[in-house]
Chains A and B, each alone.
Chain A
Amino acid sequence: MKNIKDVESEIISEFEAFDDWTDKYNYIIKDLGSSIPEIETEYKQPKYLIKGCQAQVWLHASYKDGKVFFTADSDAQITKGIISLLLRVLSERTPDEILNADLKFIDDIGLKEHLSPTRANGLTNMIKQIKLYAMAFKTKEKKA
């Protein structure tokens, strides 16, 4: 499996191919949105909801063979596409890989405005939650 940096570079070059913002958002809405590792219906409930100011995001994490597997969904299409990107980078990784990821690629592909930590939105909270899951699994493994 490719490492995080490789996947990020891959995404950056995909986005470089777009001439204007509409192509970029079309890709996010139509292609990325549908390729999200979709959350199982049983987990699409308030317990797994990450509340944000705008869109709702559901996130579920499981731990297997030293790696964290995420599934997610959102009621907003653009948010869903961006989550799909994030999970492409962060799912099926070890807790350390997740905790060390700086996610600078988001900046490079011009989507920073959706992830700024100063803005109260579901995505920022989701990254926090992803890192919290990684931390929790790491701690649990140490104890075991």
Chain B
Amino acid sequence: MSIDIKKIREEFPVLDQAINNKPFVYLDNAATTQKPKAVIKRLVDYYEKENSNIHRGEHFLSRKATEAYENSRNYVQSFINADNSHEVIFTSGTTESINLVASSFCKKFLNQGDEVLISAMEHHSNIVPWQIACDENKAHLKIIPINQKGELKLDEFHKMLNDKIKIIAINHISNSLGTINPVKEIIEAAHKKNIPVLLDGAQAMSHIKVDVKELDCDFYCFSGHKVYGPMGVGVLYGKEKWLNKMPPYQSGGEMISEVTFKKTTFNNLPFKFEAGTPNVADVLALKESLIFMSSLNYNDIQKHENDLKEYLTNNLKQLDKIKFIGTSSKKTSVVSFIFEDIHPSDTGIILDNMGIAVRTGHHCTQPIMDFYKIPGTVRASMAIYNTKEDIDRLIEGLKFVRKMFS
């Protein structure tokens, strides 16, 4: 292997501790990834040496922080290969990015009788904002169905395409199933009808190379904390042609050009969508997390994570009464499963007592759980710092769960 996992693990202080008196095994990376030292250091450095408000101040620190903040934007731009840095809007995370588009885009472009298209495997944060927008504009929310493997039914999607659809919003990678969706095919088909496409990329950034130009998506949303960055910061990439036509989302300082009591004119991109004092420290630390990603090679990441996924899947198959949820051949390192006779919550509690962190429950995707008619799943999601020893510990834990409930 060309990457040294032991060395990578040393960059993540949180992994080096005991939980419930056992070495910590962290397999809940689809919920949030851990942070490398460089990200943590950047936060501390900013507050110790650079803290000041940006864009307005004439003083030294303000200029310095402004420059660092805009540098971060440029870094994100080149990382996702956007045409312009002003197409990168900083938000609090994927949820806010989606809400921004659902609110602002729909206010301008969604009318009575129109449709918004999402899929049956969306996270609640890519369902509810569209539901609200549709309600407000008397439009209809339409759902692309999935098959038993947890894949989009593309033939249905193509049949559903029509001129009433004003926007399509789907996840790049499913959080509870791990399915990598054929987004390029969807975008190409949508563009033939001039329909813009928003991708929820929260689960993608740490696993696959995201190139917005190659994807040709109209909007791309992601969170810092799921790509080894800090919590509370995220990105909305949007094509200039759309962002320019969309009205502001929130209002206040920074987003204005001129204010009188009679009328306000709005600032240009990206500031039009960044009202108020931004989350400077986390934006700077986000850049460090992307530098960390750049220090790795996506082929190496995928090989390592895929090996772990295969290793876990093969070991799980040896256990009694395991049912896999999400069995697409195109998946990231997310393995969702249940013991057919043991509640996921019971499994999670026992594993927690053994120092093993997985996620149990519906993963904010209740419609998927309804589809499979299960209360929830146990989800193990691997990141670059996980090892086969972590998987061995999980399997050992699951064997113990089986023993306790038999």
User: Distance (Å) between the CB of B123 and the closest chain A CB?
Assistant: 15
Indicate if the CB atoms of B404 and A76 lie closer than 8 Å. no
Given A29-B404, A54-B376, A55-B375, residue A78 in contact with residue B353 (CB < 8 A): no
Q: CA–CA, A29 to B404, complex, Å?
A: 8
Indicate if the CB atoms of A54 and B344 lie closer than 8 Å. yes
User: Which single member of A22, A56, A77, A114 contacts B375 (CB below 8 Å)?
Assistant: A56
Given A25-B353, A29-B404, A29-B405, residue A76 in contact with residue B346 (CB < 8 A): yes
Most chain B CB within 10 A, of A29, A75, A76, is at A76
Residue on B nearest A79 in the bound complex, by CB: B345
In this assembly, does B278 line the interface, its C-beta being within 8 Å of a C-beta of chain A? no
User: Distance (Å) between the CB of A64 and the closest chain B CB?
Assistant: 32
In this assembly, does B15 line the interface, its C-beta being within 8 Å of a C-beta of chain A? no
In this assembly, does B350 line the interface, its C-beta being within 8 Å of a C-beta of chain A? yes
Task: Render B350-384 as a binary contact track against A, CB cut-off 8 A, 1 for contact.
Answer: 10010000001110000000000001100000000
Q: CA–CA, A53 to B124, complex, Å?
A: 14
Residue on A nearest B400 in the bound complex, by CB: A22
Chain A interface, number of residues (Cβ within 8 angstroms): 15
In this assembly, does B5 line the interface, its C-beta being within 8 Å of a C-beta of chain A? no
Indicate if the CB atoms of A25 and B404 lie closer than 8 Å. yes
Task: Render A46-74 as a binary contact track against B, CB cut-off 8 A, 1 for contact.
Answer: 00000001111000000000000000000
Task: Render B321-347 as a binary contact track against A, CB cut-off 8 A, 1 for contact.
Answer: 000000000000000000000111110
Given A26-B404, A54-B376, residue A76 in contact with residue B350 (CB < 8 A): no
In this assembly, does B189 line the interface, its C-beta being within 8 Å of a C-beta of chain A? no
Task: Render B92-126 as a binary contact track against A, CB cut-off 8 A, 1 for contact.
Answer: 00000000000000000000000000000000000
Give chain B residues whose Cβ lies under 8 Å from the Cβ of A22: 353, 404
Q: CA–CA, A75 to B376, complex, Å?
A: 12
Indicate if the CB atoms of A55 and B404 lie closer than 8 Å. no
Residue on B nearest A21 in the bound complex, by CB: B353
Give chain B residues whose Cβ lies under 8 Å from the Cβ of A56: 375
Residue on A nearest B348 in the bound complex, by CB: A54
Give chain A residues whose Cβ lies under 8 Å from the Cβ of B348: 54
Q: CA–CA, A21 to B352, complex, Å?
A: 11
User: Distance (Å) between the CB of A28 and the closest chain B CB?
Assistant: 10
User: Distance (Å) between the CB of A122 and the closest chain B CB?
Assistant: 9
Indicate if the CB atoms of B405 and A77 lie closer than 8 Å. yes
User: Which single member of A21, A25, A55 contacts B345 (CB below 8 Å)?
Assistant: A55
Give chain A residues whose Cβ lies under 8 Å from the Cβ of B360: 54
In this assembly, does B349 line the interface, its C-beta being within 8 Å of a C-beta of chain A? yes
User: Which single member of A25, A26, A53, A75 contacts B343 (CB below 8 Å)?
Assistant: A75
Closest A-B pairs by Cβ, 3 of them? A76-B343, A54-B345, A76-B345
Known: A53-B361, A55-B343. 19 other contacts (CB 8 A): A21-B353, A22-B353, A22-B404, A25-B349, A25-B350, A25-B353, A25-B404, A26-B404, A29-B346, A29-B404, A29-B405, A53-B362, A54-B344, A54-B376, A75-B375, A77-B343, A77-B346, A79-B343, A114-B349
Residue pairs across A and B with Cβ atoms less than 8 A apart, 7 shown, are: A22-B353, A25-B404, A26-B404, A29-B404, A54-B344, A55-B345, A76-B346
Q: Which residues of A contact B (CB under 8 A)?
A: 21-22, 25-26, 29, 53-56, 75-79, 114
